Structure 1
Amino acid sequence: MHWHTHTVFNQPTPLSNSNLFLSDCALRDAVGREGAEWDTDLLASIGQQLGTAESLELGRLANGNPPELLRYSVTGERLDDVRFHPAWHLLMQGLCANRVHNLAWEDHARKGAFVARAARFILHAQVEAGTLCPVTMTFAATPLLQQTLPKPFHEWLSPLLSDRYDPHFAPGGQKRGILIGMGMTEKQGGSDVLSNTTRAEKCNDGSYRLVGHKWFFSVPQSDAHLVLAQAKGGLSCFFVPRFLPDGQRNAVRLERLKEKLGNRSNASSEVEFLDASGWLLGEEGEGVRQILRMGGLTRFDCALGSHGLMRRALSVALYHAHQRQTFGKNLIDQPLMRDVLSRMALMLEGQTALLFRLARAWDRRDDVEEAALARLFTPAAKYSVCKAGIPFVAEAMEVLGGIGYCEESELPRLYREMPVNSIWEGSGNIMCLDVLRVLAKQPGILDLLTDDFAQVKGQDRHFDRSWRQLQQKLRKPQEAQGREITQQLFLLGTGGQMLRHASPPMAQAWCRMMLDTRGGSLMSEQLQHDVLLRATGRVG
Structure 2
Amino acid sequence: MDPFFQQPPEAGNRFHTDPTLRLALQWRLPDEVYRAAVPHLERLGELAATVMPPLAERAERNPPRHVTFEPWGRRVDRIEVDDGWLELMRLGQRQGLVALPYEDPYDVHTRIVQAGLINLYDPVSAVADCPLVMTDGAATLLNEHDPALARRYVPRLTAREDAWTSGQWMTERAGGSDVGRTDTRAVADSDGAWSLHGSKWFTSATTSDMALALARPENAQAGSRGLSLFLLELRDQSGGWNGIQVRRLKDKFGTRALPTAELDLIGTRAVPVGGLGDGVRKLAGLLSVARYWASIGGLAGVGHLLALARDYAVKREAFGVRLMDHPIHREWFARIAVVYDAMLVLNLEAAAQMGRVEHGGDGTLARLLVPLTKLACARQGVWAGSELLESFGGAGYVEDTGIPRIFRNLHVNCIWEGTTSVLAHDVLRALKKPEPGEAFIEEIVRRLTVLDDPAGAGVRARIEESLESLVPMINTPREDQARRLAWGMARTFQALLLAEFGQWKWQHYQDSSGITAARLFVSQGLVDAACEEAPEALRTVAFGAAAL
TM-score by length of structure 1 reads 0.87
Inter-partner Cα distance in structure 2 for 1:506 and 1:255:
53
1:395 aligned to 387, 394, 400, which one?
387
Residue 218 of structure 1, CA deviation: 1.9
Moved more, 268-277 or 510-519: 510-519
Say whether the 8 Å CA contact 1:344–1:392 is kept in structure 2.
yes
Residue 370 of structure 1, CA deviation: 4.9
1:134 aligned to 123, 131, 136, which one?
131
5 Å-filtered alignment, 1:366-381, equals 366=358, 370-381=362-373
- The aligned residue for residue 157 of structure 2 is 160
Inter-partner Cα distance in structure 2 for 1:435 and 1:357:
17
| AA of the residue aligned to 2:169 | G
- The aligned residue for residue 44 of structure 1 is 42
1:252 aligned to 244, 259, 263, which one?
244
- The aligned residue for residue 532 of structure 2 is none
- The aligned residue for residue 293 of structure 2 is 301
| AA of the residue aligned to 2:482 | G
> What is the SS of the residue equivalent to 1:71?
strand
1:28 aligned to 11, 16, 22, which one?
22
> What is the SS of the residue equivalent to 1:56?
helix
| CA distance 1:401–1:226, shift in 2 (3 Å) | same
> What is the SS of the residue equivalent to 2:301?
helix
1:355 aligned to 333, 347, 352, which one?
347
| CA distance 1:302–1:153, shift in 2 (3 Å) | closer
Say whether the 8 Å CA contact 2:14–2:307 is kept in structure 1.
no
| CA distance 1:154–1:72, shift in 2 (3 Å) | farther
Inter-partner Cα distance in structure 2 for 1:331 and 1:516:
24
**Does 1:411 find its partner at 2:408?**
no
Task: Mark the runs of 5 or more structure 1 residues left unpaired by the alignment.
Answer: 165-175, 520-540
| CA distance 1:125–1:334, shift in 2 (3 Å) | same
Residue 245 of structure 1, CA deviation: 5.5
Inter-partner Cα distance in structure 1 for 2:148 and 2:341:
46
Say whether the 8 Å CA contact 2:142–2:150 is kept in structure 1.
no
**Greater RCO (CA < 8 Å, at least 6 residues apart):** 1
**Does 1:7 find its partner at 2:14?**
no
- The aligned residue for residue 495 of structure 2 is 495
| CA distance 1:81–1:290, shift in 2 (3 Å) | farther
1:516 aligned to 513, 518, 523, which one?
523
Alpha-carbon deviations, 1:480-536, whole Å to 9, x = none? 1111111111111112212222146545434443333579xxxxxxxxxxxxxxxxx
2:177 aligned to 178, 187, 191, which one?
191
Inter-partner Cα distance in structure 2 for 1:147 and 1:444:
22
Say whether the 8 Å CA contact 1:126–1:312 is kept in structure 2.
yes
**Does 1:19 find its partner at 2:13?**
yes
- The aligned residue for residue 171 of structure 1 is none
5 Å-filtered alignment, 1:23-422, equals 23-35=17-29, 36-37=33-34, 38-52=36-50, 54-106=51-103, 110-146=107-143, 155-164=152-161, 176-231=162-217, 232-233=219-220, 234-244=226-236, 249-366=241-358, 370-422=362-414
2:428 aligned to 422, 428, 436, which one?
436
Tell me the matched-pair count: 501
Inter-partner Cα distance in structure 2 for 1:73 and 1:105:
41
> What is the SS of the residue equivalent to 1:365?
helix
Moved more, 469-478 or 229-238: 469-478
> What is the SS of the residue equivalent to 1:239?
strand
Say whether the 8 Å CA contact 1:31–1:40 is kept in structure 2.
no
Task: Mark the runs of 5 or more structure 2 residues left unpaired by the alignment.
Answer: 221-225, 452-456, 507-511, 527-548
| AA of the residue aligned to 1:476 | T
Higher helix share: 2
Moved more, 389-398 or 426-435: 389-398
> What is the SS of the residue equivalent to 1:12?
coil
Inter-partner Cα distance in structure 2 for 1:107 and 1:392:
33
Say whether the 8 Å CA contact 2:339–2:384 is kept in structure 1.
no
Inter-partner Cα distance in structure 2 for 1:334 and 1:145:
54
| CA distance 1:338–1:195, shift in 2 (3 Å) | same
Inter-partner Cα distance in structure 2 for 1:502 and 1:370:
27
Tell me the percent identity.
27
Say whether the 8 Å CA contact 2:142–2:149 is kept in structure 1.
no
**Does 1:485 find its partner at 2:485?**
yes
Moved more, 510-519 or 497-506: 510-519
Inter-partner Cα distance in structure 1 for 2:140 and 2:347:
21
